[in-house]
Structure 1
């Protein structure tokens, strides 16, 4: 199931969501100047768990490993990686921003991404593979959406062989199915490191923070702060 859009209107323009999408796209275009597949770019800006925990020496001219917990959130491996992350951010982020307010949504987003990176690094502390992408932060946004709008209808595209069908499904069903997949693939990755080339536990870590943050913050910020 690939989500296409939801049916929830927003009260105001999602400034932070759009700015985050713009920043991610801008960074990807900047990557293209150095060759989007360049190992140098990923090694410099990506999160490398072994570096974060001090198991190996930092690269000369590289950022502090702590800084890469943030920089890695804005780097993507390829155009498809960027496209789907930004699609999910647009579908789920605008409504979560609408509830939390712009400033708190930005803190929420970055905190989910930060925690996602830490969880991945904790599960694979010896990994020398750079981890990049906004997926952990966006997983947190999806967790927030699940808490705030569990019964919202999301239009999804389902492939049945050569046929495509569009369905309206409750957010709780779509996101619940997504969580199950992350758990299953995450368990596979414990036996086969970097299974599928995806940081499954980063997704789960970001999602959990998104759920907890939204449960705590929703009542406090609901219909209050625009920033």
Structure 2
């Protein structure tokens, strides 16, 4: 009886699910961003942190510098992307990593590692672009993964709320789940949950600039990056959908 019980336990072990259900690419990206923050806060001194911000955060004022001295504008080549790897504090990091896990997972599972990373970094750059337009001469810099996470959110909202398409197996007749379709803008607006989520998300971020008018307090939220990333993700995901279909 003892041996049978152990054998049964071993058989069950073969069916165990992993503790972490995140896709590998999402786990790796969270690990890299967290490692960067640990190094920035625990390894670098104040001068090193300043250099990190200068060379890897997104600073719109460097656009003007590039027209004067090429070397000062050189970070513009990579900072629209690398700013997404930096964070202003632990609370900022933890909040963003939680949202990255939530919205990066469905995109990674649908399209794979490389497309998910492409959407993340391209929409980070789109968010940086809108930030530059609205903060051209402010001297402020942009850090944080929220623009890219907003892009993953915009991409995910086009299929996460859609009904699962079910077909019949040609031989057995059993129902087979085929997944969810990528919805158009009109279809997103006709689906109550997708419409409510999208409008609430857009309106909430668009209202951030009005907050100081009622409270008199400044808000350190890059709402421009959120909006730019979300819109870019909503649009760009169609390109990855067509590439995925073509590759089948």
TM-score (norm 2): 0.67
Instruction: Report the alpha carbon displacement of residue 80 of structure 1 after superposing the two structures with TM.
Output: 0.5
- Bigger radius of gyration among the two: 2
Q: Measure, in 2, the Cα distance between the counterparts of 1:42 and 1:69.
A: 13
Greater mean alpha carbon deviation, residues 63-72 or residues 29-38: 29-38
Indicate if the aligned counterparts of 1:25 and 1:82 stay in contact, CA closer than 8 A: yes
Distance change (3 Å), C-alpha of 1:217 and 1:71: closer
Query: Residue 9 of structure 1 corresponds to which residue in structure 2?
Result: none
Q: Measure, in 1, the Cα distance between the counterparts of 2:117 and 2:65.
A: 29
CA deviations over 1:109-135 (Å, ceiling 9, x no partner):
110111111111122111211210001
Query: Residue 127 of structure 1 corresponds to which residue in structure 2?
Result: 138
Q: Measure, in 2, the Cα distance between the counterparts of 1:217 and 1:53.
A: 34
Instruction: Report the alpha carbon displacement of residue 62 of structure 1 after superposing the two structures with TM.
Output: 9.2
TM-score (norm 1): 0.73
Q: Measure, in 2, the Cα distance between the counterparts of 1:212 and 1:89.
A: 19
Residue-pair matches, total: 195
Q: Measure, in 2, the Cα distance between the counterparts of 1:35 and 1:62.
A: 24
Q: Measure, in 1, the Cα distance between the counterparts of 2:121 and 2:142.
A: 16
Indicate if the aligned counterparts of 1:150 and 1:172 stay in contact, CA closer than 8 A: no
Greater mean alpha carbon deviation, residues 142-151 or residues 61-70: 61-70
Q: Which runs of 4+ in 1 moved over 6 A?
A: 55-58
Q: Which has the higher helix share?
A: 2
Matches within 5 A, 1:147-186: 147-151=158-162, 170=193, 172-186=195-209
Matched, 1:198 2:209: no
Query: Residue 34 of structure 1 corresponds to which residue in structure 2?
Result: 44
Segments of structure 1 that go 5 or more residues without pairing to the other structure are 1-11, 153-168
Instruction: Report the alpha carbon displacement of residue 176 of structure 1 after superposing the two structures with TM.
Output: 2.9
Instruction: Report the alpha carbon displacement of residue 29 of structure 1 after superposing the two structures with TM.
Output: 0.7
Q: Measure, in 2, the Cα distance between the counterparts of 1:170 and 1:201.
A: 24
Matched, 1:91 2:80: no
Indicate if the aligned counterparts of 2:62 and 2:73 stay in contact, CA closer than 8 A: no
Greater mean alpha carbon deviation, residues 17-26 or residues 100-109: 100-109
Q: Measure, in 2, the Cα distance between the counterparts of 1:222 and 1:93.
A: 20
Instruction: Report the alpha carbon displacement of residue 98 of structure 1 after superposing the two structures with TM.
Output: 1.1
Distance change (3 Å), C-alpha of 1:223 and 1:100: farther
Indicate if the aligned counterparts of 2:155 and 2:236 stay in contact, CA closer than 8 A: yes
- C-alpha RMSD over aligned residues: 3.3
CA deviations over 1:52-72 (Å, ceiling 9, x no partner):
3437877x8996232211221
Query: Residue 213 of structure 1 corresponds to which residue in structure 2?
Result: 236
